[in-house]
Structure 1
Amino acid sequence: MGGAGAAIILAGGWVFTVVTCLVVYQASQEFYGFVTSKGISAGMMPPPPLVSALTSAMCIGITVWTYLSNGSITAALAVASFAVLSLQLLAVEKPRFSQMTSSVFGLFYCGYLPSFWVKLRVLAVPALNSTAVHKWPVALGGLTHWTVGLLATFMSVACVVAADTGAYAFGKTLGRTQLTSISPKKTVEGAFGGLLCSTAVALGFWRVLAWPAHPALAASLGVLVFLASLFGDLIESVMKRDAGLKDASDFIPGHGGLLDRFDSYIFTGAIVYFVLKFVTPLFGL
């Protein structure tokens, strides 16, 4: 799976976008599995199936539009929200506020946030500061393919994997202190291990590829990715707890649902994109 993921990131373009759309579709299905579960629907009225189907379609549409428009998605989210809320007014005789909020949150969580991975991957700024990248042979893509978007996507995914692996390894061997009651198995020691591994991988990218441009930026990205990974996991844990479910689904045998594997990535793309697009230019990096 890791090799397939690396190939998809390297390919970029439509390949990366189509795979992201598949992830978005399954994530939206699992999200509405939460919303319609007995644990949550007992306290609020879930959206009707027609609205849920349109929301899933709009989530995919936001992702595709992100690629076609080279990263412009803010207006797309507004239009999608209008369409979903308007259909709810027409499809439900007496729509409830809970139905509207769950639909819009579904668009945000399953469509808008994942689309930032596409925004991140399409960043076409050449990684000219990386002297190591200059030495890669043309057969492996040459300079024109080694963009900030490619390196940032690779690094972000690698840091998430490192954060999850480090948290598991440290928590399993050294974990004694519970981190939060939201997820009882998470420990302070495990969180420290995840932070350490994520930061180490980010610094490894800087050391090997000379990207990011400064070790402090690399370390900062490693820390941010860890935090996005941790809190993304905890946010999905809240949904599962309220829904009364152990896993989001049985989509991946032995591992649960796709959201159970990708919850750490939900916010990561947006945070890394924001830092690279808006924060680092302020410091000339």
Structure 2
Amino acid sequence: MSTVLEPVAVGLSDEVATLPGAIRRRELAAFLRSRRERLTPHQVGLPITGRRRTPGLRREEVAQLAGVGVTWYTWLEQGRDIRPSEQVLGAVARTLELDPYESAHLFTLAGLPARPSQRDCNAVPPGAAALLDKIDPWPALVANARTDILAYNRGYNWLFGDVDELPFEDRNTTLQCFVGSWPQRMPDWSTHKARSVAQLRAAMADHMSDPSWKALIKRLRKESAEFDVLWNQHDVTAPRNLTKRFLHPDAGLLQFHTTYLWLTPSAEIRFASYTPADAETADKLAALRL
């Protein structure tokens, strides 16, 4: 059986992306007012003082909680032609407690690319678990752009030896390669490590303000001097299919063709399979009967 860590999939809508700017701004103003009016001071931890003539939060309360100017937020709700940054708009979305669909809608109305939410980046698409089971014992996993391991099969757990035993927060391929013990099973790791860092840096371009990404990079740079050196080189590259060798303590040398398949339109979730690259590897896997 495969192991799936995050089974919830979230789709993001861009249905209004082609509307003219003025119409989008009017829609943005109405959307913000409707989201503000559905919240109460109690829901966001504010004391209730005096009578309130309008339902929900006041504009100044939203501005205060989001850490933006009252005048700026008022203009945003009035549909004025201002250009909010991704970071500021994200703060407004969090203050208004928008769900992933609403947050994506907000960004589209504001003329910004809709960011994949954390749930979207951690979502395992329906059918992926069945695919993992189908190709077992050939190793395979589902990972996000941050290289978090979202799902994997028995073959993958056997190849790397300890995925089941890892704490949830440590189930990240980059982390295990630079801080964990995985390079002991990867005789060619020295030729792959620079590429892995360059891929991670390229992927982070869409997540520069994401706290989870920043926390991962901070930890890697702190715990691995080797990663820190490579990160400071600012190299970027795209993932590509390779042939990789592994040295398993029981099965000896194994060779696999790695193949990446992207499972979401945003290219945030990928399926990686390890196909035996020679008959000897295929025979060893077949004999194991995992």
Q: TM-score, normalised by structure 1?
A: 0.28
Higher helix content, 1 or 2 = 1
The structure carrying a bigger strand percent of its residues is 2
TM-score, normalising length from structure 2?
Answer: 0.28
Task: Give the greater-gyration-radius structure (CA).
Answer: 2
